[in-house]
Amino acid sequence: MNSLQAKPNGIHPKPPATARKRPAHATGVIQSDSIKDVADSLGVGGLQEAIASALASDVEYRINQVIEEAVRYMKHAKRTVLTTADIDLALRNLNIEPLYGHSPSVPLSFRRFQPNHSEAKSFVYAVEDEEVDLERVVRERRVKVPREVGVKPHWLAVEGVQPLIPENPPPPPTSHTQTDRPSSPSSPPSSLPSSLPLPLQLYHTRLLSALLSPDDARRAAALASLAADAGLQLLVPNLVNWVGERVTRELARAEEGDPAVLQVALGMIGSMAKNENIFLEPYLHQILPPLLSLLLVHPHPAPSLRPVAASTLHQLITLYSPKYTTLASRLLKTLLRALLEPERALPTRAGAVRGLAALGVEGVRRGLVESRGAESLGRECEAFEEAGKGGDGGEEEQEQVAEAVRAVREALRLLAPGAPAPGGAEESALDQAGEKRLQEVFGTYFGRMISQDLDRVWARGVLQAVGRGEGKDVDVDVDVDVDVVMS
């Protein structure tokens, strides 16, 4: 071999040893530290590094032997996960006593310890033994009998073709079903499941394109179709999703949002609620969030839509609160929070008032009277007006205040729905006490407003309603939700 002569050829590269410097003891999974820990625990102190390192290497080799043996058992059991049972069988086959007490069905939990002698960041893991009180086990734990193994046949393939039955997995989506659907930019092309019958898919695309068209007549026709046609139930999840997505998207754009889309969305909710052939109840939890957002969000693309949203909400409540008893109280809770939490904007509060009005008399009483919503709202309005008088009062603020006042006024109308008898009882203005009482309940701002209102009958009616409410107030057990809000 010495006769072989090497010619100098090129540069000398660095040997890899310097390129990848590893700590001398890092020779595998089992480190010599672990061996030392184990030795310590067995009462063998002061193990030399060389011995520990050699032992670590050997332990690693032996453990690997056991694992390779166990993998055979795993493979023949046609599994892909190694279990403790495999290890047991492997140990048995290697003439080692198996580790008793581990079951594949009970996952191990480990505890982490930091041994005293070692530096930071080195931990020892130990299996945690659960302490079981035998008496309690005997008394309480009922062993659940597992279900018997069963066998059920089905056709996986008929002459090489998989039948479309629930037992078989759905066929992989073929590319052409997606391409032959017209992909109009306004409709989400991929949201429809391909399992829908083709006519419905067509209807869906047509409907959405009509709803989004600038043509009022087409839009109205589409909404009317949605409100009356039968057989649309399969589309409901998609439509509800669509509404949710669209509303979120438009509202996120604040003032730039497209009011037309929002209006259409509201219209769709209304139409679907109207349609007797559509079973909307399961989707309420999906519909209500966008609706409430439309009502409450402050930088609103179209504040004029708030009343519409409120009326749609009213529609839903009258339809579903009899069947779904917690609906009203849940809504009340949300609305009260919007009305009373300090950092909300004025338009949000106004929206909340409208929402409370949509809940009915009870909503108004709870919100404006009992939780003193009117009083705080009044204070805020007053503050705004003061600021307005101060000089820099923008038109916008004025408009917001006016909207709030309008909302409260409409809400309070619900308290005294009685139509004024023409000229019947106009003679008597409210007396001092009445006025005081109103101001007490609604705060100075709205109290004064009501008492100074031209419509005396209404004012009196409100006063009476308040009086009644006050009388009852003592023994009305206040809803827990409301309680939380007030405190």
Residue type, 398: Q
CB 313 within 8 A of CB 358: yes
CB atoms within 10 A of CB 182: 11
Asked if 9 interacts with another protein (CB under 8 A), we say: yes
Considering only 118, 168, 177, 186, the residue that binds another protein (CB under 8 A) is 168
Report the candidate in 350, 351, 365 with the shortest Cα–Cα distance to residue 294. 351
User: Of 55 and 223, which has the nearer Cβ to another protein?
Assistant: 55
Asked if 147 interacts with another protein (CB under 8 A), we say: yes
CA distance 214 to 70: 70
Kindly state the smallest distance separating residue 116's Cβ from another protein, in Å: 20
CB atoms within 10 A of CB 411: 26
Asked if 85 interacts with another protein (CB under 8 A), we say: yes
Considering only 38, 39, 47, 54, the residue that binds another protein (CB under 8 A) is 54
Asked if 146 interacts with another protein (CB under 8 A), we say: yes
Q: How far is CA 91 from CA 62, 63, 86, 100, 104, in A?
A: 11, 10, 9, 11, 16
CA distance 385 to 400: 10
User: Of 158 and 454, which has the nearer Cβ to another protein?
Assistant: 158
User: Of 153 and 424, which has the nearer Cβ to another protein?
Assistant: 153
Asked if 120 interacts with another protein (CB under 8 A), we say: no
E strand or H helix that includes residue 113: strand 110-113
Considering only 43, 45, 95, 108, the residue that binds another protein (CB under 8 A) is 108
Asked if 98 interacts with another protein (CB under 8 A), we say: no
Contact segment (CB under 8 A) with another protein among 49-57, 323-331, 361-369, 437-445 equals 49-57
Asked if 125 interacts with another protein (CB under 8 A), we say: yes
How many residues are recorded in the chain?
487
Considering only 44, 48, 76, 383, the residue that binds another protein (CB under 8 A) is 76
* Chain residues 169-208 in contact with another protein, contact rule CB under 8 A: 169
Contact segment (CB under 8 A) with another protein among 10-18, 195-203, 286-294, 452-460 equals 10-18
CB 461 within 8 A of CB 395: no
CB 455 within 8 A of CB 420: yes
Report the candidate in 318, 396, 401, 323 with the shortest Cα–Cα distance to residue 363. 318
User: Of 110 and 279, which has the nearer Cβ to another protein?
Assistant: 110
Name 149's Cβ contacts closer than 8 Å, sequence gap at least 6. none
Please report, as ranges, the residues that interact with another protein according to CB under 8 A: 1, 4-13, 15-17, 19-20, 22, 24, 26-28, 53-54, 57-58, 60-61, 64, 68, 72-73, 75-81, 83, 85, 89, 93, 104-105, 107-110, 112, 125, 146-162, 167-169
